[in-house]
């Protein structure tokens, strides 16, 4: 069995995602993610990001040219972490790994998706 290029996320990063999501609620939180050796270890906050109660976007032209950036993370202010049509468009535009967290923004309310919007497992390390 081969391992995905991104196979894990540091617990502290996941906790930070949920904390930021709670703090911005009812608006969505959005960031990019950086990985090394297959593990997401850092969030990248981008200037020009826009959050509302129904969406969150960041201008992809503000992404640094950095191959360690592997995808995006954002929150949904409701109880569902399923990707919307807009999310699927973003997922297919760049990156291989995307996370959506939802209320109550805890260690069981997030899900990871690939660029086609298919759920994938990420190990919390």
**Catalytic one among 15, 28, 82, 85?**
28
Q: Half-sphere exposure of residue 117, counting CA atoms within 13 Å on the CB side? A: 12
Peptide bond preceding 26 in cis form (omega within 30 of 0): yes
Is residue 121 annotated as part of the catalytic site, yes or no?
A: no
Closest to 6 (Cα-Cα) out of 73, 71, 64, 63: 71
Residues in the chain: 125
The SS3 of residue 119 is strand
Coil/strand/helix, residue 116: coil
Query: Measured between alpha carbons, how far is 5 from 25 in angstroms, rounded to an integer?
Result: 31
User: Which residues are catalytic, by number?
Assistant: 28
């Amino acid at each position: 069995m081969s391992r995905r290029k991104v196979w894990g996320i540091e617990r502290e990063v996941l906790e930070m995602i949920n904390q930021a999501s709670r703090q911005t609620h009812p608006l969505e939180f959005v960031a990019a993610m950086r990985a090394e050796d297959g593990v997401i270890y850092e969030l990248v906050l981008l200037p020009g990001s826009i959050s509302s109660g129904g969406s969150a976007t960041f201008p992809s032209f503000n992404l640094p040219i950095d191959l360690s950036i592997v995808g995006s993370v954002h929150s949904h202010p409701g109880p569902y972490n399923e990707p919307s049509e807009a999310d699927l468009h973003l997922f297919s535009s760049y990156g291989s790994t995307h996370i959506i967290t939802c209320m109550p923004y805890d260690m069981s309310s997030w899900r990871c998706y690939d660029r086609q919007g298919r759920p994938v497992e990420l190990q919390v390390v």
